[in-house]
């Protein structure tokens, strides 16, 4: 049981470090909170919440992986190396792909709500 408790302690330390020290993770967390507030405002359905939660989890997880890999590359060598740059670029591309997925999901879910809200204004 102590082994399991230790895993949660390590995970908490990683979450705390990521949210407190990593600007990119904080930015994604900020937008995640905005999306959650918008979801509460528009009273999303259970299925819509599933897709929103999945998108948030994927984006945040990708950013945590990206940050961990970047720190690993920096830890291995402080010298500029084209291969290190490629590794970081590939990680950034992976985060971008997941963010594009999340934006598509967000637009498909919030688009009709926003169009309906704006149509009532005009």
At 42-63, the pLDDT tens digits run: 999 999 999 999 999 999 999 9
What is the sign of the dihedral through the CA atoms of 80, 83, 88 and 92? positive
At 49-107, the pLDDT tens digits run: 999 999 999 999 999 999 999 999 999 987 888 999 999 999 999 999 999 999 999 99
Q: Which residue has the tokens 């998108």?
A: 55
- Predicted confidence at residue 33, as pLDDT, reads 98
At 32-44, the pLDDT tens digits run: 999 999 999 999 9
CATH of domain 22-121: 1.10.287.3610
22-25, long-range: CB < 8 A, 24+ apart: 22/63, 22/67, 24/63, 24/66, 24/67, 25/60, 25/63, 25/64, 25/67
52-58, long-range: CB < 8 A, 24+ apart: 52/105, 52/106, 52/109, 54/105, 55/101, 55/102, 55/105, 55/106, 56/32, 56/102, 58/98, 58/101, 58/102
Domain boundaries, the chain: 22-121
- Predicted confidence at residue 90, as pLDDT, reads 97
């Amino acid at each position: 049981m102590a082994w399991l408790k230790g895993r949660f302690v390590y995970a908490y330390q990683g979450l705390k470090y990521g949210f407190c020290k990593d600007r990119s993770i904080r930015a994604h967390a900020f937008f995640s909170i905005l999306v959650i507030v918008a979801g509460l405002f528009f009273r999303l359905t259970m299925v819509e919440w599933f897709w929103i939660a999945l998108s948030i989890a994927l984006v945040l997880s990708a950013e945590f992986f990206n940050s961990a890999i970047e720190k690993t590359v920096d830890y291995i060598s402080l010298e500029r190396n084209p291969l290190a740059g490629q590794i970081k670029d590939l990680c950034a591309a992976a985060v971008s792909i997941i963010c594009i997925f999340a934006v598509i999901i967000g637009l498909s879910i919030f688009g009709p709500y926003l169009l309906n809200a704006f149509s009532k204004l005009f």
